[in-house]
Structure 1
Amino acid sequence: MNPDIARLTARTLLGQRRTILVVLLALLPVAIALLYRFAAPADADPERFAARALLGGIVTTTILPLVTLIFATGAFGQDIEDGTAVYLLATPVPRRDIVLARFLVAWAASLAALLPAAVAAGLIVLGGSGPGIVAGFAVGIAAGSFVYAAAFTWLSIATSRALVAGLLYVFLWEGTLSGLFSGIRFLSIRQYATGIAGAFFDLPASVFQPRLEPAPAAVLAALAAALMLLLAVRRLQRWEAGEAA
């Protein structure tokens, strides 16, 4: 990874106004967890709420992809908007290094914004119960963010409407179609994340049941991330300077 590109990307992402929105969005699970602790009925099942509704539901289904989408599309999108992509592509830095640096910074920023809040929310809801649930979803969120960051990095290079295309993927494919057709689970980053998380706990199906086993989820996640990064590098290698102007 090129350290200069990484530093430039970090400054770009942290300097955007959308970063404030990301932080507020990432803190939402903590607010929900506190509300649960103070307002949940006496017979509520904290393990079911944490695994199914909060970490496996709201966080993994909505907040995780949105946070990663904002950071990953901003990594290249800002250069295109302000015209600095021309100067970046004119440097002798290999396109592979540019993609890798942008991708890793977007992934790291997503984890820094989301992971502490998700862990804190899980601990608030569960207290001392549900061993493995928080750790499992922490690993699942990290893996899911890795794949999302790779996919959205490619998307930001492939189209000037990356944010819109990413939102369609998150809400239409992941949010709607994956719940209607069982076969889509093999092409769903959300299902990869929850499947990997399931390796760390064994819960009844009535509490939480991933739709993919941990091993195939991990393999599919690795293949998807590698494919997306390869496509991103290939696309950037074919990018003409005029396209970035």
Structure 2
Amino acid sequence: ILATFVVNLVLPLTALLIGTSALGQDIEEGTIAYLLAKPLARWKVIVAKVLAGWVLTVAVVLISVLGVGLIVLVGEQGASLIPAFVVATFAGALAYVVIFVALSLRFSRSLIIGLAYVFVWEAIISQFITGVRFLSVRAYTVGIADGLTEVSSDILDRSLAMTPALILLTTLVVLGTLYAVRVLTRYQISERV
């Protein structure tokens, strides 16, 4: 239930709402011009927005992980899943927030595009087409949780081992952050699609 409810639904939707509003709200309100006029390195702006979004996302999702975990798994052999999912949620939240912050810089309808990503790509395509599972933040998150617990893999429907999941997630976070910095560095107020 942690993989289904929290990782498939709560984590990406929370990160979507927080990540797209991190800079998207500044862009919509027109206050981005004031932010860009300050003598502040663009990478610092991106890192600050990503870290703030990450902390907020983790705070919200942590309540879900602990709540669902304590209600459903306490006293069972699956209780070791709770700390594993807490750690995996930290990693998955960072990846999702980076994706959605970058998305909000590039598209004016980032929330709609993000919803399509969460419900079409993450929930449907990556679940049923095995060849693209390695392109899913959900698969990285579940792979990390699976690698951190000693519960049988049948419970988590393991799609990725922990090492590839960590490597792919780290690569995604680094490339996503670099892309967001590049977009913000070249940002023009009238450039939004």
If you compute each CA radius of gyration, which structure gives the higher value, 1 or 2? 1
1:141 and 2:89 aligned? yes
Q: 2:105–2:184: 8 Å Cα contact kept in structure 1?
A: yes
User: Per-residue displacement from partner, 1:191-241 (whole Å, max 9, x unpaired)?
Assistant: 000000011223334433310001110110000010100000000111124
Q: 2:146–2:158: 8 Å Cα contact kept in structure 1?
A: yes
TM-score, length of structure 1 as denominator length: 0.75
Q: 1:60–1:141: 8 Å Cα contact kept in structure 2?
A: yes
Q: 2:14–2:57: 8 Å Cα contact kept in structure 1?
A: yes
CA-CA distance at 1:243 after TM superposition? 4.1
- Indicate which of 115, 119, 129 corresponds to 1:171: 119
User: Per-residue displacement from partner, 1:8-54 (whole Å, max 9, x unpaired)?
Assistant: xxxxxxxxxxxxxxxxxxxxxxxxxxxxxxxxxxxxxxxxxxxxxx2
Q: 2:139–2:160: 8 Å Cα contact kept in structure 1?
A: yes
Q: 1:199–1:214: 8 Å Cα contact kept in structure 2?
A: yes
User: Which residue of structure 1 lines up, in the alignment, with residue 176 of structure 2?
Assistant: 228
Q: 2:69–2:79: 8 Å Cα contact kept in structure 1?
A: no
User: Which residue of structure 2 lines up, in the alignment, with residue 98 of structure 1?
Assistant: 45
- Indicate which of 33, 43, 49 corresponds to 1:86: 33
Structure 2 residue runs of 5 or longer lacking an equivalent are none
Q: 1:195–1:217: 8 Å Cα contact kept in structure 2?
A: yes
User: Per-residue displacement from partner, 1:52-94 (whole Å, max 9, x unpaired)?
Assistant: xx21111101111000000010111111111111111111111
TM-score, length of structure 2 as denominator length: 0.94
Amino acid of the structure 2 residue aligned with 1:200: L
Following the alignment from structure 1 to structure 2, what is the Cα–Cα distance between the partners of residues 220 and 176?
A: 20
User: Which residue of structure 1 lines up, in the alignment, with residue 159 of structure 2?
Assistant: 211
Amino acid of the structure 2 residue aligned with 1:240: Q
Structure 1 residue runs of 5 or longer lacking an equivalent are 1-53
- Indicate which of 13, 17, 24 corresponds to 1:70: 17
1:194 and 2:142 aligned? yes
1:150 and 2:98 aligned? yes
User: Which residue of structure 2 lines up, in the alignment, with residue 45 of structure 1?
Assistant: none
Aligned length: 191
Amino acid of the structure 2 residue aligned with 1:220: L
Following the alignment from structure 1 to structure 2, what is the Cα–Cα distance between the partners of residues 205 and 79?
A: 43
Following the alignment from structure 2 to structure 1, what is the Cα–Cα distance between the partners of residues 129 and 154?
A: 20
Amino acid of the structure 2 residue aligned with 1:89: L
1:115 and 2:62 aligned? yes
Q: 1:179 to 1:242 in 2, by over 3 A?
A: closer
Q: 1:131–1:201: 8 Å Cα contact kept in structure 2?
A: no
Identity of aligned residues (%): 39
CA-CA distance at 1:242 after TM superposition? 4.1
Computed over aligned residues only, the root mean square deviation of the Cα atoms, in angstroms, reads 1.3
Specify the SS of the correspondent of 1:78. helix
Q: 1:144–1:192: 8 Å Cα contact kept in structure 2?
A: yes
Q: 1:89–1:241: 8 Å Cα contact kept in structure 2?
A: no
Task: Answer with 180-189 or 202-211: which moved more.
Answer: 202-211
